[in-house]
Homo-oligomer: A and B are copies of this chain.
Amino acid sequence: MSGTAIGGWEAIRAEVLRRIRTRQWPPGAMIPTEEDLAAEFGVARATVNRALRDLAGGGVLERRRKSGTRVSALPVRKATLEIPVIRQEVEARGQAHSFRLLVCDERAVPVPVASRLGLAEGARLMWLETLHLADGQPFVFECRWLNPAVLPRPLPDFAAISVNEWLVSQVSYTTGDIAFSAAAADAREADVMGVAPGTALFITERTTRTPDAPITLVRLSHAPGYRVQTAV
């Protein structure tokens, strides 16, 4: 047969996914070529391509020119996390966001930080400590190195607008990386967050850079109970 006429690339994707899930196309197996599938479903090859490309993007399929398309044997599941601004995160929980600027000065960066940011040893950056509150309770303790050399002037009053928010509105859409880990609260964190020293805290670390220079390195210590969750 040729032309069972399923409609839309999402329908194609769904059908392919169904065949994979039912093991009609088991892990590691090759699937028909785009042309064959296009003929079977009665659509253009571009439509099949769209569906298969989407599945490949999700790690379900592996595609190689000339070889063809195979079902991933050991699927590397890909989850996409949304990383909102802290204020949005708090407000999404239905709580009121506020923050307190605890420290804001300029100091020489420690060697590990300098090397991680690709700066010369002994470079000086701004150092900001901000405590974010949800309904008045400590939510996140934000410690940030900030490179004033790459920032637009004038710098605002960071006691009035959160660094976090000012940055995304001013130097948005940059590259960088993000890491999650767990750590015991040190004395400073325990004091600021109002928890016992040694409490397990969820830590988010982000570096942000322009193509030329580092912009910021931030460490967020989240209050106990914090989770980052997403559907797969």
Q: Which residues of B contact A206 (CB under 8 A)?
A: 232
B76 in contact with A227 (CB, 8 Å):
no
Oligomeric state, in number of copies?
2
Segment of A35-43, A78-86, A140-148 engaged in the interface with chain B: A78-86
Indicate which residue in B27, B81, B180, B183 contacts A172 across the interface (CB closer than 8 Å): B27
Binary B-proximity of A152-189 (CB < 8 A = 1, otherwise 0): 00000000000001001100111111111111100000
Query: Of A2-10, A93-101, A123-131, A193-201, which stretch is located at the interface?
Result: A193-201
* Chain B positions within 8 Å of A232 at CB level: 83, 175-178, 206
Interface residues on A, range: 35 or more
Q: Which residues of A are in contact with B by a Cβ distance under 8 Å?
A: 17, 20-21, 27, 59-60, 73-85, 88, 165, 168-169, 172-184, 198-203, 206, 222, 224-232
Q: List 10 A-B contacts (CB under 8 A).
A: A27-B169, A73-B169, A74-B84, A74-B88, A75-B168, A180-B202, A181-B226, A182-B201, A182-B202, A182-B203
